Homo-oligomer: A and B are copies of this chain.
Amino acid sequence: MTKLTVVANIIANKDSIDFVKAELIKLIEVTRAEAGCISYDLHQDNENPAHFVFYENWQSREHLQAHLANSHIANYVAATEGQVELFTINEMTHIA
């Protein structure tokens, strides 16, 4: 298995920052308990509080895909529909 790093950027709509933040926080403990999750850390930008970043490390891409297919991600997507301006996921390789 090849370790995978994920950098996910989420920008909430300006009037939904607190709601989206609460929904993102709900993902943390349940995701850390998932198979293959090495780390899953949420951050908020100091200049733009609408901007959140998850920094994630997974034991493999298959573990990430299982995570993305889980019901708590579907619940998050349904709950925040129309309240997120931008959502990107970058799959990356840790160099050092």
Contacts and interface: CB of A to CB of B under 8 A. Distances in A.
A28 interface: yes
A44 B93 contact: yes
Interface in A40-64: 41-47, 51-53, 55
Contacts of A95: 21, 24-25, 42-44, 52
A42 B94 CA distance: 6
User: Number of contact residues on A: which range applies?
Assistant: 20 to 34
A45 B96 contact: no
Contacts of A24: 95
Q: Which of A55, A93, A94 has the most CB of B within 10 A?
A: A55
A43 B44 CA distance: 20
B43 A7 contact: yes
Interface of A: 4-5, 7, 21, 24-25, 28, 41-47, 51-53, 55, 90-96
